[in-house]
Amino acid sequence: MKLCGYDWPQGGTKQVVCKDDQGQVIELVKGYESPWQSANLTQLTAAPPPGANGTALAGYAWSAGGTKQAAYVDAQGHVIELVVATGNPWQWVDLTELTGAPLPGASGTDLTGYDWSREGTKQVVYVDGQGHVIELFVANGNPWQWVDLTHLTGAPPPGGTALAGYDWSWEGTKQVAYVDTQGHMIELVVAAGNPWQWVDLTQLTGAPPPGGTALAGYDWSAGGTKQVVYVDAQGHVIELVVAAENPWQWVDLTQLTGAPLAVQGSLAGYDWLNGNTRQVAYVDAQGHVIELSVAVENPWQWVDLTALTSAPLLQQNPPTGFSWVWGATKQVVYVDDQGRVIELWVGLNDQWHAANLTALLRPEAGKKTASNLVVGSPGASISSSR
């Protein structure tokens, strides 16, 4: 089960979207003064379900449009978007049919969706059957469009399906990172009013190449940097990082911190706006969730979140990590070996907590619009300290 967790500032909620064992898209959602609730988005919208063997799934907020959305690939290979605005019902649209874009590649392909704050667009990116990076994008009040970024830039094609797409607010760019057939980390990047470009970050920095498919790219607002993180062949977490008007650099976070080695395929990197830190979460060989984190002008640190919270082990599925502005928390969410959705979370000047979200779900969320989930409906929060 793949999870994607994210913050929706316009709605004041945090949410985790996943595909369950029945092939349905499920959203777990919590408002600032509301308990966790669940909604079956497939049932709620009557959208075509995800493909039986597909893992492609992305969830994100769109600031210019004020919506939150989930994107996935259905059994026909079409990219489907489920979308909702505050006070409105969920809807769905077939982005492949709408745009005429090429189909995603074979089963197992990944996709990424994200907001570009500078230009007010939202976009979904994937690899098609020809190994080209395809972007679907839309601006508020305009129709969806698509572009073949591989053809447009002349960049080397991806060697796999893993992608990371994200906004860099400091410089106003959007970018997509992936690993090519030579095992090099490639970045496709564009600024407003400029053409797309590509750069080989492995060649540029001399960093060790990725050893698997796990990668994450994200913006750090407090530090003004953007970074791509991955696991190399030795199980070390490698960060490629750049600040405005500076060259790309790389650092071995495992060597720097002395943290346990990472298992291939497990990685999440994100910005914590309230705490002004950036962090990477991954799984070690013992099934423990490890966090590496840093604040401005401070050294990197690591902590074993599983040992700290006595949370269940994570054995197979990768974690998702994100910040929640309204709640001033950061969280890592994963599925344990019993199929339970586990959340690890911490607030400012607080200690880490663990919660079994599967046991705390309230099924009535699917009957409500997004606005009902913001200001608290009656009910206890997830724990007494929350």
**Alpha-carbon dihedral angle through residues 299, 188, 55, 91, given to the nearest 10 degrees:** 110
pLDDT score for 108: 60
pLDDT in tens, 220-277: 999 999 999 999 999 999 999 999 999 999 999 999 999 999 998 879 999 999 999 9
Angle at 243 between CA 167 and CA 229, to 5 degrees: 65
Average pLDDT (321-338) is 96
Q: Are 23 and 56 in contact (CB under 8 A)?
A: no
Domains and CATH numbers, the chain: 3-373 (2.120.10.70)
pLDDT score for 65: 97
Q: Which residue, among 27, 126, 41, has the nearest Cα to 89 in the 3D structure?
A: 41
Q: Is the pLDDT of residue 323 over 60?
A: yes
pLDDT score for 371: 38
How many CB atoms are closer than 10 A to CB 324? 25
Distance separating alpha carbons of residues 146 and 100, to the nearest angstrom: 8
pLDDT in tens, 6-51: 999 999 999 999 998 889 999 999 999 999 999 999 999 999 999 8
pLDDT score for 361: 62
pLDDT in tens, 107-133: 567 899 999 999 999 999 999 999 999
- Tell me the residue type at 122: K
